[in-house]
Amino acid sequence: MGSGMKAFHATQVYFNRAADLMGMDERIRTALLTAKREVRVQIPVEMDNGTVETLLGYRVQHDNSRGPMKGGLRYHPAVDMDEVRSLAALMTWKTAVVDIPYGGAKGGIAVNPRSLSVKELERVTRKFVDQIHDVIGPHADIPAPDMGTNYQVMAWLRNQWEKYHGFNPACVTGKPVEHYGAEGREEATGRGVGLLAFKLFRRFGKSPRDNRVAIQGFGNVGTHAAKFLHEAEFKVVAISDISGAYFRESGLDIPGALRYAMHHEGRLEGYSDADRLPAEKLLELDVELLIPAAIGNVVTNENVSRVQANVILEAANGPIHPKADAILEKRGVTILPDILANAGGVTVSYFEWVQNLQHYKWGINRVRQELDHVLGSAFEQVWQESHDAKISLRTAAYKLAIERVHRATLLGGF
């Protein structure tokens, strides 16, 4: 697989581009890129049939100069130290660019969660916590859901961690709402994508109504982005999932498509209120805004010449290959980079943690308002930096993030 791996290579390229621009010393680069701690543990689990399987679990804590480290926990067969290490660094830049008081971390277990029973999944999760509970926690490193994990896994994780350390729901985010989870976490990434698209087009002086949007991926991020953009009166003309792309020139009935997916196990297969296109054609449509919200590396050297959108918002991690990115930049295409575009999720995770620490629950309106505030000010800063320094939004976002982490590291001292 490796959307993560690919996202990692891209992250390295973009980090170095910004660091070159800043004239950053090689030794400082090494200090900023090296993870604080890397843990690999053995997870022996008893399977339902009585046999014992030995799995490997990882947690990489990249940087804590700006606050406790934060990052998802991924269950996928391709998880390894390299991937987790790179995704941990990505979290450091993501939390820094939106300026929430966190560093970056990531973890995972090399396992296919669909091959496990619910009981096995629970045992794996609890065993993993047994191995790493002393290095994670509300003021050290706070896990969250990622590929292959969900709110149920987070509820087990919290329960197991609290067996060692006592009540403290802030030890993990992405929990069920009934278990100190935050209202609005589910919609946060997609909503953030929508909010940022709205702000970007307002900056261009363009009204949503005159702008056509194509969204690749109709999962958590894609559906919530589509809903927000439709409500904001953008013309969403194309959506897609693994079953293919669905297109309507005059604009899709997004509430109808959402209802359809809800009644068909989250899939669009069979949706007939639109024209059908091969899935990859979505990327090449004549639209003003393209939102890849599915997997990494979908805009490549091979198809970049056929991409027509003048604005691309990276809802997925690393959807544009760095070589394609360079071509698009030359062509004057505006790209809102993943480290900002999909930071709504970690931002609302931060709100969940704040609420847990204060033992105070916010309503959905407060969550939405604060999300708008955090993403809005990050967007304005990145936009300003890009214009002042005459650099792309991506390089501006990395530059701001790296400067913040660098400065915090120097202030703290060694």
Which residue, 309 or 316, has its beta carbon nearer to ligand NAD?
A: 316
Query: Does the annotation mark 106 as catalytic?
Result: yes
Q: Distances in Å between the alpha carbon of 265 and those of 217, 261, 268?
A: 14, 6, 9
- C-alpha–C-alpha distance, residues 146 and 346, integer Å: 11
Which of 172, 221, 340, 393 touches ligand NAD by CB under 6 A? 221
CA 152 from centroid of its chain's CA atoms: 19
Taking CB under 6 A as the criterion, which residues in 123-162 touch ligand NAD?
none
Token pair belonging to 8: 């990692």
The amino acid present at 173, given as its one-letter code, is T
Which residues lie closer than 8 Å to 178 by C-beta, 6 or more apart?
Answer: none
Q: Which of 6, 94, 106, 127 is catalytic?
A: 106
Scanning 8-16, 54-62, 207-215, 220-228 for contacts with ligand NAD by CB under 6 A, the matching segment is: 220-228
CB of 71 to ligand NAD, least distance (A): 11
Taking CB under 6 A as the criterion, which residues in 16-35 touch ligand NAD?
none
Scanning 76-84, 203-211, 217-225, 379-387 for contacts with ligand NAD by CB under 6 A, the matching segment is: 217-225
Task: Name the residue with tokens 């091969």.
Answer: 278
Instruction: Give the largest CA-CA distance in the chain.
Output: 64
- C-alpha–C-alpha distance, residues 294 and 216, integer Å: 6
- C-alpha–C-alpha distance, residues 413 and 87, integer Å: 25
Mask of contacts with ligand NAD, 223-262, x by CB under 6 A? -----------------xxx--------------------
- C-alpha–C-alpha distance, residues 69 and 101, integer Å: 9
Taking CB under 6 A as the criterion, which residues in 313-332 touch ligand NAD?
315-317
The number of residues that bind ligand NAD (CB under 6 A) is 21
CB of 282 to ligand NAD, least distance (A): 7
Scanning 112-120, 130-138, 289-297, 405-413 for contacts with ligand NAD by CB under 6 A, the matching segment is: 289-297
- C-alpha–C-alpha distance, residues 402 and 15, integer Å: 8
With 0-12 / 13-18 / 19 or more C-beta atoms within 10 angstroms meaning exposed / middle / buried, residue 311 is buried
Token pair belonging to 49: 């049939």
CB of 221 to ligand NAD, least distance (A): 4
- Which residue number places its CB atom closest to ligand NAD? 219
Taking CB under 6 A as the criterion, which residues in 173-192 touch ligand NAD?
189
For the annotated catalytic residues, the residue numbers are 106
Binding site for ligand NAD (CB under 6 A): 3, 189, 216-222, 240-242, 279, 293-295, 315-317, 342, 345
